[in-house]
Each structure stands twice: as C-alpha cells, then as structure tokens.
Amino acid sequence: MNPIVPMIASTVVAATPLIYAALGETIVEKAGVLNLGIEGMMLIGAVAGFAATLATGSDTVGFMAAAGAGVALSLAFGFLTLNLQTNQVATGLALTLFGIGLSAFVGHNLAGTPLPPLPPIFIPGLSSIPIVGDLLFRYDIMVYLSLVLFAAVEWFLIKSHAGLTLRAIGESPSVAHAIGKSVLTTRYLAVMFGGACAGIAGAYLSLVQTPMWVEGMSAGKGWIALALVVFGTWKPARVVLGAYLFGGVTQFQLFAQGFGLPIPTEFLSMLPYAATVVVLVIICRDPKTILLNQPASLGISFHAAA
C-alpha cells in the first residue's frame, strides 16, 4: 500500500487533540483571557474520560465526562482570575500543576489498563473508494467532529453577534462594560468552553490515540496548543492548519523509525518541541504581527468599579 496514505491518516489522528485544545483556547484568548492551564485540563480530561468509559463501556459518556472535568477545572481558573482577579499567568501555571497532580492521583489505579479504541466510521460506498476513501472516510467520529467544531468556531467569531461581543470584550473590557456588556459572563462562558475542549482533547489521547491512561500522557501537547494559537495569529483556520502541520511533525518521528533512519529516537522526539520554538520565532519576529492580531486585553485582569 502507498505509505503516504497511512502517514497522512496518522497525522490527522495526531492533530485532532491539538485542534480541540487550540480552538478552545482561541475562544478563551479572543475574550482576553490567557489560560495556561490547558495541559492540566487535558490530563484531567484524559483520566476522567478514561475512567468513565472503563466504568460504563460508552465512549460518549467518556467524552462527556472529560468535557465536564475540563469545565470543572476551568471554573476554578475562572473564579480565581475573573472574580478574584489573580494573575492569569500564575493561575494558569497553578492549574497545570494541579491538573498533573490530581490526574496522577485519581488515575493511580487505572494506569496500564487497556481499552478498545474508538472504531472508525465506515460509510458504505465512500469508505471503500481507493485512496480517497482511506484518506477521508476512515476516521473515528471525533475527527469529523473536530472539523464541525472548527466550522462552528469560525462562524461564531465572524458571523454571530455573540462572537462580535466576545471579540469586543477581548479588545477592551472597560469599553464593553461602559456600553453595558457583561464582561464577567462572557469571559466565564469562554473559559468554560476552553475547559470543555481541553478535556475532550485529553480524552482523545486516552480513549483513541493510545488508548490507555498513562501518567502525564499529554507530554506537553497542552503547551503546543497554546503555541498553535499564537502561530495561527488567533484565526481558527490557521490554528487548524498549524495543528495538522504539528501532527505531521510528530508522525515524522514514527516514519523515520519505520524507515530505519539512523537517528536516535530521542532526537526525533525532540522535533515537535523544537518545531514549536522555531514556529514561535517566525511568527513573533515582527512585533506588528502580534500587535495587530493579539486581543488587546489578553492576560490583563478587569475589575469593574461599582
């Protein structure tokens, strides 16, 4: 069989959790909130989703539990940063440290138990078309849903009134407050959406990709998702494109190994992290790119004087 097809297919699977996490964070950041806790929320989502599926046998329940766990953690973040106006960078770090600890604690007895992977969807006819069928129509449902999510986020930000409000709040919460928009409500909803997406991204790791629970299994993917938002200059389409590029980089490792390239695995494993650094340098090189695209109030607490 053509080796390109499985390579692309595994790239798509590798990119899917990044898409969920990064699209969620795009919405959060568009509302002016910087949540560095994606890594922690992904791990919590991974362990919650895994435990729920193990208990019920249902992947749907697993993903829902993962989303719920992500939302719960994001609410803690929201309470601290939005109600109590704590430093968003520090709180996000706390969320990640907490998530790593809590997931390891909760998942202590789950480690090593395997689960059957999520079956791909076979569409009669379409899936059996040579090459195209393998390329496009043999993924699990979450891959397709990630594209639906992309379309929904894109529409929300560009076309909907609520999206306009969200963007406005991200630019200037004080102005939005002055014309009567509820900054707190919008930002809470955004943060919760980000939490749900990160939770689902984590569950994709433990239910589809691996599929089992391993302590610290996100291995920096939450941070890469953060970098993807910058790489995509806060535009959903570019964020998704970036996720596929990164998915490709992580898979390159597997293929280099498969082809027996004499490169130590450690160096290949470094690639996604090194690529993140290189990509950030390319995007941030010109400060104007960031100034023009970054939500102006990103990371700054807002306190409405009563």
Using CB under 8 A, list all residues that contact other proteins.
36, 40, 76, 80, 84-87, 89-91, 93-95, 97-102, 104-105, 108, 161, 164-165, 167-168, 171-172, 175-181, 215, 219-220, 223, 226-227, 230, 264, 266-267, 269-270, 273-274, 276-277, 280-281, 284-288, 290-292, 296, 303, 305-306
CB of 158 to other proteins, least distance (A): 11
Would you say 132 or 274 has its CB closer to other proteins?
A: 274
CB of 51 to other proteins, least distance (A): 15
Q: What DSSP line would sit under the chain, residue for residue?
A: --THHHHHHHHHHHHHHHHHHHHHHHHHHHTT---TTHHHHHHHHHHHHHHHHHHH--HHHHHHHHHHHHHHHHHHHHIIIIIS---HHHHHHHHHHHHHHHHHHHGGGTTT-B-PPPPPPP-TTGGGSTTHHHHHS-S-HHHHHHHHHHHHHHHHHHH-HHHHHHHHHHH-HHHHHHTT--HHHHHHHHHHHHHHHHHHHHHHIIIIIS-B--TTTTTTHHHHHHHHHHHTTT-HHHHHHHHHHHHHHHHHHHHHHHTT-SS-HHHHHHHHHHHHHHHHHHHHSSHHHHHHHS-TTTT-------
Would you say 26 or 276 has its CB closer to other proteins?
A: 276
28 token code pair: 């959060």
CB of 187 to other proteins, least distance (A): 16
Would you say 108 or 130 has its CB closer to other proteins?
A: 108
Would you say 36 or 208 has its CB closer to other proteins?
A: 36
CB of 304 to other proteins, least distance (A): 8
Would you say 55 or 164 has its CB closer to other proteins?
A: 164
Residue for token digits 């596929």? Answer: 244
Would you say 143 or 190 has its CB closer to other proteins?
A: 190
Residue for token digits 């907490």? Answer: 98
CB of 229 to other proteins, least distance (A): 10
CB of 190 to other proteins, least distance (A): 16
- In angstroms, the CA 306 to CA 301 distance is 16
CB of 26 to other proteins, least distance (A): 16
Amino acid at residue number 173: P
CB of 15 to other proteins, least distance (A): 18
Would you say 79 or 244 has its CB closer to other proteins?
A: 79
CB of 203 closer than 8 Å to CB of 48: yes
Would you say 93 or 145 has its CB closer to other proteins?
A: 93
Query: Which residue, among 85, 163, 117, 100, has the nearest Cα to 10 in the 3D structure?
Result: 117
